Amino acid sequence: MATKSLKKLGNNLAQSNKQLEILSNGIFKSGKLPTFKDKISETSQFPIKAKKLEILQINVGYMCNQVCDHCHVDAGPDRKEIMTRDTMRQCLEVIKNSGAHTLDLTGGAPEMNPDFRWFVEEASKVGITDFIVRSNLTIIRANKKYYDLPEFFKKHNVHVVSSMPHWTRGKTDKQRGDGVFDKSIKALQELNAVGYGMPGSDLRLDLVYNPSGAFLPGDQVAMEKDFKKALMDDFGIEFHNLFAITNLPIARFLDYLIASENYEDYMYSLVEAYNPAAVENVMCTNTLSISWDGYLFDCDFNQMLELPVNSKSRHISEFNEELLEGRNIVISQHCYGCTAGAGSSCQGVVA
């Protein structure tokens, strides 16, 4: 397991332009595989257009207590990019005045932002229908100051979406680090104890599965059944839904693919699994991603590749919903990850 981010290590793949070079050259430049633009043009789906804004996904910082092998954010304890309260205030104005019904806070570990609780308290007053916090679970057990997070989430009716690579210790710790599984189980039990994930409860607790290697996720419905049975039988844990998310070939997962000599095979798998039906509902069409410093992107993945929205409205300070609606979505070859099989998004399958 890595203990430092690619950025801290000085790895070339910490640079978005180096990642984009790899995704644009080689098998795509030679014509062995079609570019994503050419592929969606075959079914007259280019350009992909933004629809009505429904989800605001806000990345409040890249700092995290973990350094996971598959992380597309390249998050870790050494990342110091943190959203300020001033930028949060600008986000709150957009939340109040936009047509979005879902607020989705992510990171890093969003809970590590020193203004996280203030932001949650203020945002919960706005009247958002679905208020999501993406938690890695272990943060709840990382330090005494986080031990009350389950109660804090409950107080503000936060929808907790938690990373859980597998129901076994071996596969989880392989992807996320030694001891992660046991801490995650403890955190889930504590969330259950305050009512999260229980049958009939309005306190939503969903889990996210990412494959631990160079392969695509299996059937989401079947995996959910397996997760539910195993976690209940072994630990008495309840949760509502499982989201199966495809690993996109950027940042640390791209580094893993290249180091393990799986990059070309993985890209072939993504292209061969391409599903035109998934293109219709890709998350970038109804979601706007906001970076820690307030810049706007079509999705969290484009944020990490520094591919800004194709609009005159590029920063939260100049947010204009009319200008953003109907914009052309910025694409590259990583987009195959969201259109393979049943599709993939931060809310699971899309087709």
95-115 pLDDT tens trace: 999 989 999 999 999 999 999
Burial grade of 297 (CB within 10 A; 0-12, 13-18, 19 or more) = buried
Burial grade of 129 (CB within 10 A; 0-12, 13-18, 19 or more) = exposed
pTM: 0.95
* Residue 205 per-residue DSSP state: E
CA 295 to chain centre: 17
Question: Which residue, 142, 53, 163, is CA-closest to 103?
Answer: 53
Paired with 288 in beta bridges are 56
Residue-level pLDDT at 170? 84
**pLDDT tens-digit readout, 114-171:** 999 999 999 999 989 999 999 999 999 999 999 999 999 999 999 999 999 889 888 8
Which segments in the chain show pLDDT lower than 50?
A: none
Burial grade of 326 (CB within 10 A; 0-12, 13-18, 19 or more) = exposed
Residue-level pLDDT at 351? 58
Helix (H, G, I), strand (E, B) or coil at 49: strand
Residue-level pLDDT at 103? 97
Residue-level pLDDT at 1? 62
Q: Which CATH number fits domain 6-338: 3.20.20, 3.30.420, 3.40.50, 3.30.70?
A: 3.20.20
